[in-house]
Amino acid sequence: MDIITEHRYIAKEIIRQCSEAQIAAAPSRLLEQIVADKDFRTLSTLVEKGISGGTSAARTLHMLTYGGQDSWMAELLLKKRMWVALDDYAALHACIENDAVEVAELLLNGGMDFDAYQQWAQGHPCSGHEDTLQALTDYWSKWGQAPARGAGGMTFG
């Protein structure tokens, strides 16, 4: 077993044995590191145990939705209960920049306010994604307002 494989094994064992409270206290950047390794099983374990997307939610969603190939992971993680702050418009913006409509819809379903995002987005240009923005505008208009609100963040599942 080489050193890299050995360290991954040890890390996975630590994650497996940690309590939900310990995982919830873990730094959110851990999600980015696991996404970079394309290790869905470990990502799933972290999310199931309650890790917060925190300041890494936007980057994590960007990494998962870039090119569309791993958008399914983002969808499943959000459905499991990946925590994203309701005012983390950078997370929604990352989905829009990557044309990940279904993932963005999950954020809206979880309570993120698309009207507030649009105000935020005035300072964060996103050209070339008009079809995605239109699809989300149409989706949002069906609701008229955020379908669910939580205190501080959203969880799924």
100 close to 69: Cβ distance less than 8 angstroms: no
Beta bridge partners of 85: 153
Residue type, 47: V
pLDDT of 5: 55
Q: What is the pTM of this model?
A: 0.83
Mean pLDDT of 146-156: 47
140 close to 108: Cβ distance less than 8 angstroms: yes
Q: Residues with Cβ < 8 Å from 39, sequence gap 6 or more?
A: 8
Reported as a single tens digit per residue, the pLDDT across 4-63 is 456 778 888 888 899 999 998 888 888 888 888 888 888 899 999 998 888 999 999 999
Q: What are phi and psi of 132, to 5 degrees?
A: -65, -45
| Whole-angstrom distance, CA of residue 78 vs CA of residue 64 | 12
Q: For residue 149, how many other CB atoms are within 10 A of its CB?
A: 12
Of the pLDDT bands very low, low, confident and very high (cuts 50, 70, 90), residue 156 is: very low
pLDDT of 151: 40
| Exposure string for 112-125, b = 16+ CB within 10 A, e = fewer | bbbeebeebbeeee
More confident residue, 133 or 149: 133
Reported as a single tens digit per residue, the pLDDT across 74-115 is 999 999 888 899 999 999 999 999 999 999 999 999 999 999
**Positive or negative: CA dihedral 135, 110, 65, 123:** positive
